[in-house]
Amino acid sequence: MVGGATRTRILARDREPWISVGPSPVPGCTAAARLACPRARGREDWRPLVRAPPVPLDLTWFVPGLLLAILVGIVCGPWAARRLGTGPRLGVALMVSFGAILGTTLSPIPGIPDAALQGSCQTTRIGIAPIADLLAVTEASLNVALFIPLGICLGLMDRSRRAGFAVFGAFLLPFAIEVTQLLVPALNRYCDTADIADNLTGLIVGLIVGAVTAGASRHHMRRRRSI
């Protein structure tokens, strides 16, 4: 989860973020307005809904985490390159992208934890985020963008067993992050299936871009050699 710790429990109604407010019953909330007045649990009256305020994005640790990731990538990149059988520059890029993911998603967020959201994983969304969310600066688009560099680096690797293991581990990474956020309350973060879907979307997009780029580069090199 890239965003802040504060989240509002929402009601899924036409995929719009609505929250119920005010005492129930409310004058004027009649049967004709039932789409805007959900039935109160265990009662026959109705409560109005208002649009929930947007959840602010908390990027407090993004810049420090990115700088630390770059430092770790430079130091550990040659080792990763040897282990994965790739070039040193690609090894550095892999470690930097991997470190940026860990620094952004597993750094603690300041604030008071919301006990109502801890100890369980929210299932707000499982599939791909709406296009409008992906085209704007939202938590969904940031979660997607976070995994694109890692996917590109993996897509640029030569096809080998080591590369296959690396790709498999990358697909497990979003699940490991959300489980860690679920089991470590000190991080003040919360598990959400939407984050997993967004991370996997970014990883797949990056893999496609990297694989196409690598294929085009190999084709260009073969043409130059044949001339």
Give the chain's domain count.
1
Please indicate, yes or no, if residue 29 is contained in any of the structural domains: no
Please indicate, yes or no, if residue 23 is contained in any of the structural domains: no
Please indicate, yes or no, if residue 127 is contained in any of the structural domains: yes
Q: Is 156 exposed, middle or buried (0-12, 13-18, 19+ CB in 10 A)?
A: buried
Residues with Cβ within 8 Å of 221's Cβ and at least 6 positions away in sequence, in order, are none
Orientation of helix 62-84 relative to helix 161-183, angle to 10°: 150
Please indicate, yes or no, if residue 49 is contained in any of the structural domains: no
Each residue's pLDDT expressed in tens, for the chain with a length of 227 residues: 665 443 433 333 334 444 444 444 444 444 444 444 444 444 444 444 444 444 455 556 667 777 887 888 888 888 989 988 899 899 999 998 998 898 888 888 777 666 666 677 888 888 899 999 999 999 899 999 999 999 999 999 988 899 999 999 999 999 999 999 999 888 888 899 999 999 999 999 999 999 999 988 887 777 777 76
Please indicate, yes or no, if residue 181 is contained in any of the structural domains: yes
Please indicate, yes or no, if residue 24 is contained in any of the structural domains: no
The boundaries of the domain holding residue 144 are 62-226
Please indicate, yes or no, if residue 109 is contained in any of the structural domains: yes
Round to whole Å and give the CA distance between 225 and 221: 6
Round to whole Å and give the CA distance between 159 and 154: 10
Please indicate, yes or no, if residue 222 is contained in any of the structural domains: yes
